[in-house]
């Protein structure tokens, strides 16, 4: 099998193919991870935010659109997707720890290094193993249909770490919409805080924390855990 990293757009099914869309995100992620190396302070936080927004929307679209197809069309699809789901879960847990403990925590350098390592492992597993198998199992027309569904789901996805939510349907699908609304509202609030006059910033930060608490409650709803396969959520 040939890695999708080494195939042309035409070989992957054309610009609308889900394989082309996936690879485009992977290229962007690689660029951001390269920029992250050696950063500190505000520059590092800004890059981590960009990485998070890309990674979590991308992973949600995979988990809701692509992995169910792989489990259906491949005899070993469950084992293949479980491996990647474990990687996604570790990313969720690492990002949650980085956000919780802050920049001064002594474990931050090790967590950052591990985050970069897991993200690169995830890309290689997908491009070298999962996607070539998907490419063999479905038609070009199906790759394009999946590409359209994937693109829609990516635009409607959560953008932050949610380590207690199932990585599989129906839990991730049921929690996806409320978490997406909360995450994207929080993204807008946080962006506003960075631009706002100093006297307004505390109110914005308080609103962001309130939205985070509501998202935490959504994660605790039993339906959010439906379909869970340990250890792919906390």
Residue 222 has pLDDT above 90, yes or no: yes
Q: For residue 33, what are the contacts with CB-CB under 8 A and spacing of at least 6? A: 51, 116, 119, 120
- Report how far apart, in Å, the C-alpha atoms of 167 and of each of 40, 64, 65, 225, 227 are: 31, 8, 12, 8, 8
70, 80 Cβ separation under 8 angstroms: yes
Q: How confident is the model at residue 175 (pLDDT cuts 50, 70, 90)?
A: very high
Q: Where are the domains of the chain?
A: 12-157, 158-234
What pLDDT score was predicted for residue 229?
86
Lowest mean pLDDT of 45-54, 114-123, 129-138, 194-203, name the range: 194-203
Geometric angle at alpha carbon 45, from 42 and 50, rounded to 5°? 130
Q: Closest by alpha carbon to 98, among 165, 44, 56, 54?
A: 44
- If one counts every other C-beta atom within 10 angstroms of the C-beta of residue 129, the result is 15
- What torsion, rounded to 10 degrees, do the Cα atoms 13, 15, 20, 24 define? 170
- What torsion, rounded to 10 degrees, do the Cα atoms 12, 16, 17, 18 define? 130
Task: Read off the pLDDT of residues 60-74 as tens digits, 9 standing for 90 and up.
Answer: 999 999 999 999 999
Q: If you search the block for the tokens 């998070």, which residue do you land on?
A: 52
Task: Read off the pLDDT of residues 91-127 as tens digits, 9 standing for 90 and up.
Answer: 999 999 999 998 899 999 999 999 999 999 999 999 9
Classify domain 12-157 at the CATH topology level. 1.20.120
76, 82 Cβ separation under 8 angstroms: no
């Amino acid at each position: 099998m040939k890695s999708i990293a080494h195939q042309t757009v035409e070989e992957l099914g054309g610009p609308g193919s889900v394989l082309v869309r996936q690879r485009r995100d992977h290229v962007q992620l690689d660029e951001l991870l390269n920029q992250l190396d050696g950063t500190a302070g505000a520059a590092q936080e800004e890059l981590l935010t960009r990485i998070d927004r890309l990674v979590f929307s991308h992973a949600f679209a995979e988990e809701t659109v692509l992995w169910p197809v792989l489990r259906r069309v491949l005899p070993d699809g469950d084992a293949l997707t479980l491996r990647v789901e474990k990687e996604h879960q570790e990313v969720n847990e690492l990002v949650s720890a980085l956000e919780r403990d802050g920049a001064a925590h002594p474990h931050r350098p090790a967590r950052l290094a591990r985050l970069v390592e897991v993200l690169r492992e995830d890309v290689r597993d997908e491009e070298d193993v999962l996607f070539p198998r998907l490419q063999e199992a479905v038609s070009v027309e199906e790759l394009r249909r999946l590409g359209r569904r994937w693109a829609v789901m990516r635009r409607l996805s959560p953008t932050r770490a949610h380590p207690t939510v199932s990585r599989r349907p129906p839990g991730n699908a049921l929690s996806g919409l409320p978490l997406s609304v909360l995450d994207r509202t929080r993204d807008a609030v946080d962006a506003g805080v960075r631009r706002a006059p100093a006297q307004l910033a505390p109110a914005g930060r308080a609103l962001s924390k309130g939205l985070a608490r509501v998202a935490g409650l959504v994660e605790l709803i039993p339906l959010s855990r439906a379909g869970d396969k340990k250890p792919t959520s906390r």
